Amino acid sequence: MLMQNISKTLLFLLILVCGACELPPRTQEGTGQATNTQEAFRTATTPSAEEEYVMVTTAINLPLYVNHDQAAFKAWGEKKGVKTTILGPAEWDVPTQIATLEQVIPSRPAGLLINGTDPGIAQAIRKAVAAGIPTVVYDSEIPNSNRHCFIGSDWYEMGYLQGKRMAQLLKGKGKVAVMGILGMENMEAGFRGFLDAIKPFPGIEYLGKYDDKANVETAARIAADLISAHPDLAGMAGFDSNSGPGMALAVKEANRIGRIKLTTVDAEPEHLKLVQAGVIDYLVGQKRELFTALGAQFLYDMRHGTLQLSANDAKAGVVPIPRTVITGSIEIDKTNYVQFIQ
């Protein structure tokens, strides 16, 4: 009991230190009671109102996360009659996300839904799995994390779709650059997809990839520098939610709307308005609600043994949920953006 109290106190202090978690902090520990890692995740037969599923992310106030990932997660919890908690720092702060995970694990929630932000969180995820907590990573894969399931988009495909559309927009000729968060598993795959798509077009000159750190101002500054250094710049492609708005800002300020082609990921209201205005030419949206609604359901299924695939899944070493789920992409341009405006 003393250690439990210490753990709860440390978690509360962590949230205060973060100073960024605008959503309500956890007030009660989860009810998972795994006795060992072999029996691990199947710890209850019926759902309980005290059953707690915890999402740990970073940049917790990012509209993309709030409007899609978190909204779907909370709606799922209300429908199932279980508790959902969302924790993490306001900024893109991976060390604090890791510290949050380290504090949550001893409380043994019914399941952990972790935003795969950076390969550096792998060790904390392994600890959660070793502690017998059902664990799903979403958005970006974390190699060597031992997670039970990854659910997200095929970022190579998202990059390939952007590259293919960019080649069409440029008619196979011109200078292009890409930007996003360098080093992330998903975005690096996207960059590779983009390059593979433009390879058949020798008239397209690739200027390189740039780290905008998921920040609109940084993306705008990089785009402005590129426009200044390359007056004949023909196109830019973005790979995080703030790349597109940043690139659009620079193109508008340079009075180059329509002359510099822009493609990017995500389909938030700001992105859609920029498509409507003719500033951004093409979006590749993600089915983000599926990440957390399906991910939470997988955690629930593990905890309650919804499906049994052998006489004894734990002894057989069977995890009764998909290992990987790719949810697919949504292509948006001037022909269909109206369908996505709410």
For the chain, percent of residues with pLDDT exceeding 90: 75
CATH number of 155-286: 3.40.50.2300
The answer, yes or no, to whether residue 177 has pLDDT greater than 60, is yes
pLDDT in tens, 152-166: 999 999 999 999 999
The answer, yes or no, to whether residue 23 has pLDDT greater than 90, is no
Of residues 242 and 12, the one with the higher pLDDT is: 242
Q: Would you place residue 184 in the very low, low, confident or very high pLDDT band (cuts 50, 70, 90)?
A: confident
The answer, yes or no, to whether residue 187 has pLDDT greater than 50, is yes
In the predicted model, what is the mean pLDDT of the chain? 88
pLDDT in tens, 66-107: 999 999 999 999 999 999 999 999 988 999 999 999 999 999
Backbone angles phi and psi of 18, in degrees to 5:
-55, -40
Backbone angles phi and psi of 254, in degrees to 5:
-85, 0
pLDDT of residue 26: 55
Q: Please compute the mean of the pLDDT values over residues 174-202 and round it to a whole number.
A: 95
**What six digits make up the tokens of 267?**
């389909």
Q: Whole-prediction pTM value? A: 0.78
Q: Would you place residue 29 in the very low, low, confident or very high pLDDT band (cuts 50, 70, 90)?
A: very low
**What six digits make up the tokens of 122?**
């792998």
Of residues 4 and 148, the one with the higher pLDDT is: 148
Q: Would you place residue 169 in the very low, low, confident or very high pLDDT band (cuts 50, 70, 90)?
A: very high
The answer, yes or no, to whether residue 34 has pLDDT greater than 70, is no
pLDDT in tens, 112-137: 999 999 899 999 999 999 999 999 99
The answer, yes or no, to whether residue 28 has pLDDT greater than 60, is no
Rounded to whole angstroms, the Cα distance separating 133 from 299 reads 9
Question: For 231-241, b where at least 16 C-beta lie within 10 A, e where not — what string?
Answer: eebbbbbbbbb
The answer, yes or no, to whether residue 2 has pLDDT greater than 90, is no
Strands 204-211 and 174-180: parallel
The sheet with strand 52-56 has its strands ordered as 83-87, 52-56, 111-115, 135-138, 149-152, 324-326
* Structural domain boundaries in the chain: 52-153+288-308+317-327, 155-286
For the chain, percent of residues with pLDDT exceeding 70: 87
Fold of 52-153+288-308+317-327: Rossmann fold (3.40.50)
- Using an 8 Å Cβ cutoff, are 166 and 201 in contact? no
Rounded to whole angstroms, the Cα distance separating 245 from 238 reads 9
Could you tell me which of 26, 80, 27 has the C-alpha nearest to residue 54? Answer: 26
Q: Would you place residue 8 in the very low, low, confident or very high pLDDT band (cuts 50, 70, 90)?
A: very low
The answer, yes or no, to whether residue 24 has pLDDT greater than 60, is no
Could you tell me which of 195, 186, 204 has the C-alpha nearest to residue 327? Answer: 186
pLDDT of residue 185: 81
Whether 52-153+288-308+317-327 shares its CATH topology with 155-286 is answered yes
